[in-house]
Chains A and B, each alone.
Chain A
């Protein structure tokens, strides 16, 4: 087994209150998930910023490639008809 010295890196996600999504807030080092959650509490919620914490080891995050962002998100680019403002509604029509 390789002699790993540095604690692995974890990404931290916090739900600020019930009803809202967990949101990425930053990262930290910890030996395991339990310690990562405790450290996340001390580092990222000293002022009641959260009611729930997720941690994910950074190596498990897969991301889209920013260099290909333009082509990757292109399919949504020319479909203005997906937005309600595309449609004309007569002034007489209410509640639409």
Chain B
């Protein structure tokens, strides 16, 4: 039987430690939001306002019309018009422009004749990722314009029956504005909570060993499970506070929509924190050394949560071994749940599988933790 009184005594004492150590407390409360903001910006996958120069050799109404689309786009920032290749090449080499669009002579004429007309794009390929995105944007805009022209041409020449112009719009689901922040922030919250939870707790038991208080505790009637639960609940309060601030920061600072229910989010975060904090305590109980526990805590939470949770790298495109490894990373399930709740607005009816797996993980770690605590001094 677990004694509520002893568990509460443990929790209250642990909470006093947290309150007394004001510097660590501030850090624990501030760090998640700071991390969210830093990572949120650093990891932004959006490419917009690509600096571009325009070189219009044709100067026809058609060429002007097409270039006008570039001028009006939020994806491109037109730095200016040039009269020859030279300043364009210089701008790319010096890094002031990312691309130069060249419209050839006879562009309008050939188009009007229904011929195929090439358009040249000079691109800075040193950042291949951004370059390919820029290429994609440019191609889409040119294609859009040529489709428009072709339709007009067909109408004008009355070539048979008029088909409605094909609408090539691709509907982007769940993140219709294609804002990568919407995609990153929910996952990031999961990763940050994982790191935070295991860091906070990794010191809690090792500290008792190093202070010599553990020996004393073992000589009292306090049970391993009471000790673990007491400590967990104190840190859980801190973790819950952090969860609330970080979610609020995501919603209000980054403007990520929370489409699902806050309750589902709360429940899944609760299960996750329980597991992640048990993990930190377990490391602490095994190493009995604050430094080691802290390093192991950081290593074992940060790397898997970052690399193997599907947060940055899509799990489906991983090689077999790492993909298999993701199944034992609890952050994987939590990232999936967070994305589900935030972006898809789904509830437990779809997330129960992940929820159960998280619960299983938490239970297993908690059992190992109490086993480790139950061990005698030697």
B is bound to A: no
